[in-house]
């Protein structure tokens, strides 16, 4: 069954150095070295759903897409270039992972190895 992930967030800035966010898909506690340099601990839900360009035949079924959902906990760093442009790096460990190949009805065709592992994500965010 496919359903959208809800977005719920309650943010509170406690003082100049500390803030927290309770929510789904991400909960965190942040420490501000300055307004530009921020360290955080987090627990979050992440994942993707993607179509496979050329379907894969597995045990008499055709896999048309792949999906991954995971729960991850870790440590992150953010550097704010401006109020709206942020570089980030998050590392952690997956607490739960489901990785599946699916047919055109999104039914599971094959479950991939779901061994929890190290998590690393980095990039640039633009926020409004």
User: What residues make up the domain containing 84?
Assistant: 9-126
Q: Is residue 2 part of a domain?
A: no
Q: Is residue 102 part of a domain?
A: yes
Which carries the bigger pLDDT value, residue 114 or residue 89? Answer: 89
Q: What are the residues whose beta carbons fall under 8 Å from the beta carbon of 66, sequence distance 6 or more? A: 49, 50, 52, 99, 100, 101, 102
What mean pLDDT comes out for the span 76-99? 95
Please write the tens of the pLDDT for every residue from 48-78: 889 989 888 888 888 999 998 889 999 999 9
Least confident of 23-27, 109-113, 119-123: 109-113
For the question of whether the overall pTM of this predicted structure is more than 0.75, the answer is yes
Residue 15: is it exposed, middle or buried by C-beta count within 10 angstroms (0-12/13-18/19+)? exposed
Q: Over the chain, what is the mean pLDDT?
A: 91
Q: Is residue 74 part of a domain?
A: yes
């Amino acid at each position: 069954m496919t359903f959208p992930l809800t977005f719920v967030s309650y943010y509170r800035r406690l003082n100049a150095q500390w803030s927290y966010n309770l929510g789904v898909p991400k909960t965190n506690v942040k420490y501000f070295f300055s307004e530009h340099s921020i360290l955080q601990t987090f627990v979050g839900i992440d994942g993707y759903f993607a179509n496979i360009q050329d379907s894969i035949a597995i045990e008499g079924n055709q896999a048309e897409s792949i999906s991954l959902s995971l729960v991850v906990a870790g440590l992150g760093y953010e550097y704010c270039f401006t109020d709206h442009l942020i570089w980030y790096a998050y590392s952690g460990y997956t607490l739960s992972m489901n990785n599946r190949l699916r047919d055109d009805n999104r039914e599971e065709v094959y479950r991939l190895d779901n061994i929890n592992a190290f998590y690393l994500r980095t990039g640039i965010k633009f926020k409004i």
